[in-house]
Amino acid sequence: MIGIVKAYTTRVGSGPFPTELLDEDGEKLRKIGGEIGVTTGRARRCGWYDAPIARYAVRVNGLTDFFLTKLDVLTGWEKIPVCVAYDIDGKRVEELPASQSDFHHATPIYEYLPGWTEDISGAKTLSDLPKNAQEYVKFLEQISGAPMSAIGVGPGRTQTIVVKDFI
C-alpha cells in the first residue's frame, strides 16, 4: 500500500494544525509550492513535515511505502524543521492525539535538518540529490516508519526519482 506525502504539510479548511506557519515561511511554502485550492481558489494552510501524522497514516492504512512529493519546494532553506512529536500540557506525545481537544493544544517538537541550495529538479537518482537532501529523505523514512520509494523533485511527470520499484 502506497501513501502520498508532501515534503511539508498542508491542510485545507479549519481544524488543528500544529505545524502551521503563519509567517513568511508559510507564505514562501504556499507560493513556491503552488498551494492554492484548484476548486475553491483558496490558499492552503502550510506547515513543516509532521511525522506523527505520517506514522498514523502508516499504522491505520497499512502503508508499506511513501511517494514523497514536492521535495524541490524546500530548496533554499538554511535549516528545515521536522515535527517529530508534540508537547501537550508539558508531556511529550509521539503519536497523533486521540482527542480533538488534545490535538488543538499540541505544540510541535522539532528536529532541525540542514537545508540545501542546489537545484534538484533534474535529479534522476537518489545519489543525484545534494547530501543534505538525501539526509532529509532518510530522516523522514526513519521518523515516519516507511521508505520513501519515489520522490518528486519538480512539477513535471518525469521529475520523479524511483528509489524502489513498488508497483
pLDDT digit string, tens, across residues 78-113: 999 999 999 999 999 999 998 999 999 999 999 999
**pLDDT recorded at residue 165:** 84
* 51-61 vs 131-144: helix crossing angle, rounded to 10: 50
**pLDDT recorded at residue 166:** 73
* 155 neighbors 161 (Cβ within 8 angstroms): no
Architecture of domain 2-162: Alpha-Beta Complex (3.90)
Residue 44 has pLDDT above 90, yes or no: yes
Is 146 or 165 the better-scoring residue by pLDDT? Answer: 146
Residue 147 has pLDDT above 80, yes or no: yes
What residue ranges do the domains of the chain occupy?
2-162
pLDDT band at 77 (very low <50, low <70, confident <90, very high): very high
**pLDDT recorded at residue 38:** 84
